[in-house]
Amino acid sequence: MDNKLIGACIFGQSGGPTAVINSSAYGVIRTALDAPEITNVYGAAHGIVGVLNDELYDLGKEDAHELKLLMNTPSSELGSCRYKIKEESELKRIHEIFEKYDVRYFFYNGGNDSMDTCQKVSDYLERVGYECRVVGVPKTIDNDLVGTDHCPGFGSAAKFIATTVAEVYKDVHVYDTGMITVIEVMGRHAGWLTGAAALAGQNGAYAPDFVYLPEVPFETEAFLQNVKKTYEAKKNCLVAVSEGICHHDGTFVAEAKISGTDGFGHAQLGGLAARLAQAAREGTGAKVRGIELSLLQRCAAHLASQTDIDEAFLAGKSAVECALAGHTGKMICFTRESAGGKYKCGIAYEPLSVCANKEKKVPRKWINDAGTYVTQDFIDYALPLIQGENGRLVENGLPRFARLKKVRAVV
């Protein structure tokens, strides 16, 4: 079989940004630029929206050094979108654009929704007999993609969270008067990132006292009892909670009132961490503080794990290699090979259908029975992913991100 397919490629980014999604971009772009079969490398402005709008950048016109700086530039450099394809007319339009630019390779970098987009594009093009190879590149700090051992973006967010928890631990233990601190971590449906807070304990006694994941129903009374008991014993209590913790009935705690502790009877503007901290104050009289890690946990490229950066690049590079080898309708997945106990990341191709529209949660057995902490299995899983200090470029004492020209593509 001659797998050679000559034509242009489009690369797009979709969903929430991460600290390393641009490393995957560089993996795709660099490999594609170097591939003889690929005639032009186009970047879609704001993912599939840029394809629909015929807004493409000619990435062959970029400076090689600036492109390489994508390795340490956070967020989606080409712009992102949250756009779900709903109608056949959209797929027809995409096909039209692909014809116009003679696009034979489509690489899409995102989470489970983006894999759904990939799947639809791939299915449609096959149906209409337009030859084009479609490969998905995984990305999400949430680490909830099915089919892959872990996701590019998770390791860096986990490293930021663990480092920050260790630093905050030091900070809140400074006064003899004590403190109750609640740190709110991203991850609406899966607790991978919140669990990463426990990694803070690896180099000393800086771990949080409790870690609440969305996989286990949250019981406000038990939470308050735990915090109170710990505060009374240690004069301090540090808790990490997922933004996605839910009551038994499935409603988000973030959207509900902390019963009995505020009497306002309407939605609060304050974040979950602030409200849980306030609730914990009642009955303890402790000084409290709620901290929301907010966007910082997904864009802190300055603290990105080199393992994650390298693997994100590898995922992008592998996507191009996968397509060049003749595959289509696949997502790049990571496997874990633990030869002699040493972590090693491998590559596999999984059908997009395995990955699209699903969520991988933290296994219940990796959470303790009480639902208040992760187990050693979780630590062993996550710790290798935060290894390696990145060698980002710093100028003026500040990060030096890539500066692309973004020259509009013309045919």
> Which residues are at the interface with a copy of itself (CB under 8 A)?
17, 45-46, 49, 73-76, 79-82, 159, 162-164, 166-168, 170-176, 199-200, 202-204, 206, 262, 264, 266, 268-271, 274-275, 278, 289, 291-292, 294-296, 298-303, 305, 307, 383, 386-389, 394-401, 403
- How crowded is the C-beta side of 224, counted as CA atoms within 13 Å? 17
CB 192 → a copy of itself: shortest distance, Å? Answer: 16
Measure the CA–CA gap between 308 and 239, rounded to whole angstroms. 26
Which is nearer to a copy of itself, 247 or 302 (by Cβ)?
302
CB 231, CB 223: distance < 8 Å: no
Nearest approach, Cβ of residue 291 and a copy of itself (Å): 5
Task: Report the nearest approach of a copy of itself to the CB of residue 354 (Å).
Answer: 27
Burial letters 284-306, b for 16+ CB under 10 A, else e: bebebbbbbbeeebbbbbebbbb
DSSP of 51-76: HHTT-EEEGGGS-HHHHHGGGG--S-
Residue 144 known to be catalytic = no
Residue pair 403/72 in contact (Cβ under 8 Å)? The answer is no
Catalytic: which of 58, 142, 144, 209?
142
Q: Count other C-beta atoms under 10 Å from residue 325's C-beta.
A: 10
Q: 138 or 147, CB closer to a copy of itself?
A: 138
8-state DSSP, 248: T
Which whole-number Å values give the CA distances from 349 to 50, 117, 252, 319, in the listed order?
A: 26, 17, 35, 9
Q: Token pair 């591939």 is at which residue?
A: 35
Measured from the CB of residue 333, what is the shortest distance to a copy of itself in angstroms? Answer: 23
How far apart, in Å, are the Cα atoms of 175 and each of 77, 183, 292?
A: 43, 19, 22
CB atoms within 10 A of CB 82: 13
| For a copy of itself, the closer CB: 323 or 385 | 385
Q: Are 292 and 193 in contact (CB under 8 A)?
A: no
d(CA 177, CA 156) in angstroms, rounded, equals 34
Q: How far is the CB of 79 from a copy of itself (least distance, A)?
A: 6
User: Cβ–Cβ contacts within 10 Å for residue 232, how many?
Assistant: 12
Q: Which is nearer to a copy of itself, 1 or 398 (CB)?
A: 398
Query: Nearer Cβ to a copy of itself, position 290 or 371?
Result: 290
Instruction: State how far the Cα of 99 lies from the Cα of 102, in Å rounded to an integer.
Output: 5
Residue 175 beta carbon to a copy of itself: minimum distance, rounded to whole angstroms: 6
* Helix (H/G/I), strand (E/B), else coil: 86: coil
The smaller minimum CB distance to a copy of itself, of residues 49 and 345, is found at: 49
Active site residues: 142
